[in-house]
């Protein structure tokens, strides 16, 4: 069962939610920059991070029906939609970048979700999945969105995306700060030191993937035989058994051998 959109919005309005927004947002900006001239899709509850792509040509927030939807952005024309995660209402190869946050851990059909994402990604598109890390403290913090659903290891995420014909190309981690409000003032220090000192306690895995491409070998043209080899490929008449004329053989019933 998915977290309600109101609970997610309330979490990101708190100081601890601000820490999450900053920590993951920095990693996204490092990976994709401002996404200049690109079409970006956020799936799950990705709206706290979509403002990291101010130069995108178009940005859309797709929120699963079981979660609920909210109007986004706060100012201007709404660009959020309520969707069926197993049948996204978008054309094939539409988005250059896809970001999944709070989308994979609670879905009942991860393969269908990733298959749909692969369908709407452009051939040169990229996707980043931000998912709760199984070994981190955040996956045990049930008061946060990362404590809901099932967490993943890096290998589990890689196997899952490969089953959807997507190929991992890079990965990173974030949220080394403990999931308690007491530590929010030292969050930036935890993020800077954590990757070197405590790599196993990161709260979130960020896996970047691309579409798989397959090389298609051209079929070989069948060579036409110019001159048959005598005695091998040349047709030969069927011998007639002794005591039977050819006329009698041809007059046998259609079901007889």
Consecutive H or E run containing 172: strand 166-174
Between helices 110-120 and 154-163, what is the axis angle to 10°? 60
**Rounded CA gap, 55 and 64, in Å?**
26
Point out the residues of the chain with pLDDT beneath 70: 213-257
How far apart CA 105 and CA 110 sit, in angstroms, is: 8
Quote the pLDDT of residue 38: 97
What pLDDT is attached to residue 195?
Answer: 79
Q: Distance (Å, rounded) from C-alpha 60 to C-alpha 58?
A: 7
CA distance 132 to 151: 5
Domains of the chain: 5-211 (3.40.50.150)
pLDDT at residue 214 in the model = 58
pLDDT number for residue 225:
38
Q: Does pTM surpass 0.75?
A: yes
Phi/psi for 157 (5° steps) reads -65, -45
pLDDT value, residue 198: 79
Q: What's 31-97 look like in SS3?
A: HHCCCCCCEEEEEECCCCCHHHCCCCCEEEEEEECCCCCCCCCCCCCCCEEEEECCECCCCCCCEEE
Q: pLDDT digit string (tens) for 168-204? A: 999 999 999 999 988 888 888 888 888 787 778 899 9
Q: What is the pLDDT of residue 230?
A: 44
Question: Torsion angle of alpha carbons 16, 63, 68, 90, nearest 10°?
Answer: 170
């Amino acid at each position: 069962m998915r977290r309600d959109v109101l609970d997610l919005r309330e979490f990101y309005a708190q100081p601890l939610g601000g820490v999450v927004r900053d920590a993951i947002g920095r990693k996204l900006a490092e990976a994709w920059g401002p996404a200049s001239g690109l079409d970006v899709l956020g799936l799950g509850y990705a709206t706290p991070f979509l403002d990291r792509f101010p130069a995108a040509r178009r940005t859309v927030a797709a929120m699963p029906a079981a979660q609920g939807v909210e109007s986004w952005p706060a100012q201007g024309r709404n660009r959020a939609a309520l969707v069926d995660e197993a049948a996204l209402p978008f054309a094939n190869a539409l988005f250059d970048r896809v970001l999944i946050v709070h989308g994979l851990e609670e879905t009942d059909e991860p393969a269908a979700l990733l298959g749909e994402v692969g369908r709407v990604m452009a051939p040169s598109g990229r996707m980043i999945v931000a998912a709760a890390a199984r070994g981190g403290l955040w996956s045990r913090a049930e008061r946060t969105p990362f404590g809901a659903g099932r967490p993943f290891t890096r290998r589990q995420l890689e196997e899952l995306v490969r089953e959807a014909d997507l190929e991992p190309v890079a990965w990173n981690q974030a949220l080394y700060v403990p999931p308690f409000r007491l530590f929010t003032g030292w969050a930036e220090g935890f993020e800077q030191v954590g990757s070197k000192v405590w790599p196993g306690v990161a709260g979130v895995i960020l896996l970047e993937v691309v579409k798989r491409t397959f090389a298609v070998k051209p079929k070989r043209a069948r060579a036409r035989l110019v001159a048959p080899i005598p005695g091998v490929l040349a047709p030969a008449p069927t011998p007639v058994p002794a005591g039977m004329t050819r006329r009698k053989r041809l007059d046998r019933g259609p079901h007889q051998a």
